[in-house]
Amino acid sequence: MDAVDATMEKLRAQCLSRGASGIQGLARFFRRMDRDRSRSLDAGELQRGLAELGLVLDTAEAQGVCRRWDRDGSGTLDLEEFLRALRPPMSQVREAVITAAFAKLDRSGDGVVTVDDLRGVYSGRAHPRVRSGEWTEEEVLRRFLDNFDSSEKDGQVTLAEFQDYYSGVSASVDTDEEFVAMMTSAWRL
């Protein structure tokens, strides 16, 4: 394990020690630190932001993390990629059940779940806000889909976004058996 991997493991452990919302809380904090709304931070911003949270990195560690996850060579760290890297890896069993749930939702089989795909799997008619006339069923389906979408809500959820959502859930479930049981029940697999 190289120094950047060791740093990521240290950050992951510190986030997970804060509970299941540790990584999500870090995401919210980073979005506040991203003052220019570029969705990226340089090594100094990363170092200062993590220090405020009590996650101390030295300058070399912060620069190494930025270099490792800087996908476009801009010298800054893309927040989505960084947050994805912080989430703990999942077992093949967990990945398989997530893929099965996604396949059930992706009725068109095109690798993207849309509101049209959801219509055949999920009904919003009984939702209290639909029943009261406040929302349409379309709005309920869109809001449901938004739970799994990335921070840029485009009305389409890819397998990678679905896996990313469930990797966050997975971090708070102790065993593969519990995770598979939860997914099987939730998605009626």
DSSP, collapsed to helix, strand or coil, labels residue 19 as coil
Dihedral in degrees, nearest 10, Cα atoms 178, 179, 184, 185? 60
Check: CB of residue 14 under 8 Å from CB of residue 55: yes
Indicate if 92-187 has the same CATH topology as 3-86. yes
Ranges of each domain in the chain: 3-86, 92-187
Which CATH code fits 92-187? 1.10.238.10
pLDDT tens-digit map of 3-28 = 778 877 877 777 666 654 566 666 67
User: Which residue, 89, 87, 82, is CA-closest to 20?
Assistant: 87
User: Which residue, 42, 154, 27, is CA-closest to 85?
Assistant: 27
pLDDT tens-digit map of 72-119 = 788 888 777 777 777 778 899 999 999 999 999 999 999 999 999 988
Amino acid at 53: L
Domain 3-86 has CATH 1.10.238.10: yes
